[in-house]
């Protein structure tokens, strides 16, 4: 199992310390949630912060844009050094074009689905994306309770990927811990995003290892 700790739950007063912990850990990625207060009811951090993080972090950056018109910010995300740029299906009228623009910018393209959005919305694009991010909480805030129905969505998405010969990975964001992580692994998830479960742990490095071993 791959693990992508979410910077949203880090201590921004000691950001360098938390990023150093990520560097020393076996985490595969660092998840960055960019929120605009419009698409989701919260505001997080912008590109200057991501650029600073990129200078400190030795892990690939996994940028998740929870904003309206994310296609306008593809150059900024690229210039911040992101390896993956994930946009929401619900925010993109011309999703195929946005995915192609992300690829043209030299990044892997991910598409995120909110909890109420059906997996079949990605049927016609599943072979074009590198990653599908399923939100297992309503986006915008950390520390929420895991939505159990996500497990069925993971199984459905895994079937869609297999039937179409897609190479897309399945990433889950929201309410991830050792218990839900084990359930998600069994359902077919590839990557777990964990925020408060990692950064709030007494031993975050050990916690990351626990998720990776699922």
Could you say which residues of the chain have pLDDT below 50? none
Q: Which of 208, 179, 206, 183 is nearest to 195 (CA)?
A: 208
C-alpha–C-alpha distance, residues 31 and 112, integer Å: 13
C-alpha–C-alpha distance, residues 206 and 66, integer Å: 29
Tokens 């991830």 locate to: 176
Q: Which domains does the chain have, with CATH numbers?
A: 2-212 (3.20.20.70)
What are 131-166's pLDDT values in tens digits?
Answer: 999 999 988 666 678 999 999 999 999 999 999 999
Residues classed as catalytic? 33, 173
The pTM of this model reads: 0.95
User: How much is the pLDDT for 121?
Assistant: 97
User: How much is the pLDDT for 142?
Assistant: 61
User: How much is the pLDDT for 40?
Assistant: 87
Helix or strand (DSSP H, E) at 101: helix 95-104
C-alpha–C-alpha distance, residues 22 and 99, integer Å: 28
8 A C-beta contact, residue 172 and residue 152? no
What are 187-197's pLDDT values in tens digits?
Answer: 999 999 999 99
User: How much is the pLDDT for 143?
Assistant: 65
Tokens coding 14 = 């000691």
């Amino acid at each position: 199992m791959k693990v992508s700790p979410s910077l949203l739950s880090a201590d921004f007063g000691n950001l360098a310390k938390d990023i150093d912990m990520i560097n020393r850990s076996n985490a595969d990625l660092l998840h960055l949630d960019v929120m605009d207060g419009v698409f989701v009811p919260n505001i997080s951090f912008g590109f200057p912060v991501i650029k600073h993080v990129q200078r400190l972090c030795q892990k690939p950056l996994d940028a998740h844009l929870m904003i309206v018109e994310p296609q306008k910010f593809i150059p900024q995300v690229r210039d911040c050094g992101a390896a993956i740029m994930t946009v929401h299906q619900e925010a993109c009228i011309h999703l195929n074009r946005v995915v192609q623009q992300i690829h043209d910018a030299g990044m892997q393209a991910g598409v995120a689905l909110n909890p109420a959005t059906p997996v079949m919305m990605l049927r016609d694009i599943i072979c074009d994306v590198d990653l599908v991010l399923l939100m297992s909480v309503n986006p915008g805030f950390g520390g929420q309770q895991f939505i159990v129905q996500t497990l069925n969505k993971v199984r459905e998405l895994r079937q869609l990927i297999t039937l179409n010969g897609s190479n897309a990975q399945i990433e889950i964001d929201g309410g991830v811990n050792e218990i839900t992580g084990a359930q998600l692994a069994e359902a077919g998830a590839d990557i777990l995003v964990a925020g408060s479960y990692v950064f709030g742990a007494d031993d975050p490095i050990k916690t990351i290892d626990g998720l990776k071993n699922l």
